[in-house]
Structure 1
Amino acid sequence: MGPVDKEKPSCPAGEPACPRLDELLALRAEAEELNRLVHKDSLTGLFNFRHFQQSLVQEMERTRRTGQPVSLMMMDLDHFKQINDHWGHEVGNAVLRQVGKLITGEMRQIDILCRYGGEEFALLLPATDLPRAVDAANRLRQVIGGNPLDVAREGIGITASIGVDVFMKGDGIDHGELVRRTDALLYQAKEQGRNRVCHRNFDLLRTEGQVSREEKDELLRK
């Protein structure tokens, strides 16, 4: 019997040589990196549009099973083109990264933040009804607008317009329709002057038994 090869594990007779542990670890690292690239936005490090689509479908299915609502925010940075035009795209990219960090700092661990595209972000809030989602959206709007971003060696102020909608068990819509509804609310916020939150009609939700008059009145005061 010859010396034992310490670098490769022994394999059954007649089978190809087994891969070494370091080879297996390298393959695993490559697979994890590929998965990260598939699901992460390279600029901000946030989840990307593809991950958003998959997560939204999964959360809506969870709502259908459990009855817990899932809310969706669509956020767009106001007058972002002016930042790119005045300061350049590198500063614009830095603004996107810092806004992503601001939002992340206000999120719960179960929330899912994605860069939807351009200067637009999407935030999924599992197990969250519309009143709580609107409250969170107003808080995010204040945080973004109240924190000058430290880029280009000076503070750059920016605001955000936000649309908010909710998916409830029994709603007869798919994920595409939920996105379209929420996006329409976002652009309603833009049309009404920007730096504001627009949400689904509380009166309609109250007639459906989803929002009480007290909850509606409290939210409209904010």
Structure 2
Amino acid sequence: MPTHRRCDSCGQVLEDRPTGLIERWHWDEIAADEIARARGHGLSIALIMLDLDRFKDVNDNYGHLAGDAILRGVADVIRQTTRPVDLACRYGGSAGDEFMVLLPDAELPAALAVAERIRAGISDMSVTAKVTRDLSATIEGQTASIGVATYCLGDLAELDLEDLMLDADVSLRAAKRHGRDRICVANVDVTGEQATTGRADRRLASWSRFRRLRSV
């Protein structure tokens, strides 16, 4: 199993300062290497992409320092619910409230289990943060919409990291459209045998314009 790569020049994993996760552009390099490794060894690979629901409301109601505390809390949830070999980053620049987790050697059932642990962990968060110099607030009830995409060897023969990200993003947008605080899966036939591998309480099945999507 791989471990986190380190910067060739400094010998360190490059981190996103607010969250301690892998810095986004460094993550791109590592993730591309993992796609190549999966292709070379005939392994499946999965990507989880998540977006915090109505995160702007946190910044507007409690302030940007409280928003930073939420981001750190989400990063902690991701660290607690993933393996050391999984690659997590914050996506979307310095103000981004989107995250990605690449899961080496993971098929759909395993990826769904991780995604559900992340979703539940974020929903259960209780974050205390200062909103003024004299006042603190406890923020609860944050949720996340999650898109999942998985590739096996046959897919990887033709597809790359950008394709995987596009599929996960399509799934994420579907989760947003269909009510938030849920997981959608790309590239899975809702009438196929694979569709039975998710949670028994799946709440909807829908079509996107380009991919079949299943909400879990």
Where on the TM-score scale, by shorter chain, does this alignment land: which range? 0.7 to 0.9
How far apart, CA to CA, are the structure 1 residues paired with 2:199 and 2:76? 28
Range with greater deviation from structure 2 (174-183 or 190-199):
174-183
Cα deviation, 1:75-133, whole Å, max 9, x if unaligned, reads: 11100001111111111111111110111111111111111120000001111001210
Please say if 1:93 is aligned against 2:68: yes
Q: Provide the residue aligned with 1:127 in structure 2.
A: 105
Q: Which amino acid aligns with 1:129?
A: E
What is the TM-score with the length of structure 2 in the denominator?
0.78
Please say if 1:221 is aligned against 2:200: yes
- CA positional deviation for 1:191: 0.6
Answer whether contact 1:49 1:116 (CA < 8 A) is retained: yes
Residue 174 of structure 1 is aligned with which of 147, 157, 160?
160
Q: Which amino acid aligns with 1:155?
A: T
Q: Describe the shift of the 1:110–1:150 C-alpha distance in structure 2 as closer, same or farther (beyond 3 A).
A: same
Answer whether contact 1:40 1:46 (CA < 8 A) is retained: yes
How far apart, CA to CA, are the structure 2 residues paired with 1:191 and 1:90? 28
Residue 143 of structure 2 is aligned with which of 152, 159, 169?
159
Higher strand share: 2
* Equivalent position SS for 1:170: helix
Higher helix share: 1
Q: Provide the residue aligned with 1:76 in structure 2.
A: 51
- Counting only pairs closer than 5 Å after superposition, residues 109-148 of structure 1 correspond to structure 2 as 109-117=84-92, 118-148=96-126
How far apart, CA to CA, are the structure 1 residues paired with 2:115 and 2:27? 18
Q: Which amino acid aligns with 1:189?
A: A
Aligned residues: 182
Answer whether contact 1:131 1:216 (CA < 8 A) is retained: no
Q: Describe the shift of the 1:113–1:218 C-alpha distance in structure 2 as closer, same or farther (beyond 3 A).
A: same
How far apart, CA to CA, are the structure 2 residues paired with 1:32 and 1:150? 35
Q: Which amino acid aligns with 1:217?
A: T
How far apart, CA to CA, are the structure 2 residues paired with 1:40 and 1:136? 22
What is the TM-score with the length of structure 1 in the denominator?
0.76
Which stretches of structure 1, 4 residues or longer, exceed 3 Å deviation after superposition? none
Q: Which amino acid aligns with 1:169?
A: L
How far apart, CA to CA, are the structure 2 residues paired with 1:97 and 1:220? 28
Q: Provide the residue aligned with 2:205 in structure 1.
A: none
Answer whether contact 2:167 2:187 (CA < 8 A) is retained: no
- CA positional deviation for 1:148: 2.1
Percent of aligned pairs sharing the same letter: 36
Alignment RMSD (CA, Å)? 1.9
Answer whether contact 1:60 1:167 (CA < 8 A) is retained: no
Cα deviation, 1:134-169, whole Å, max 9, x if unaligned, reads: 121012101110222222333212101100001221
Q: Which amino acid aligns with 1:142?
A: A
* Equivalent position SS for 1:165: strand
Q: Provide the residue aligned with 2:27 in structure 1.
A: 52
**Structure of larger gyration radius:** 1
Unaligned runs of 5+ in 1: 1-30, 207-212
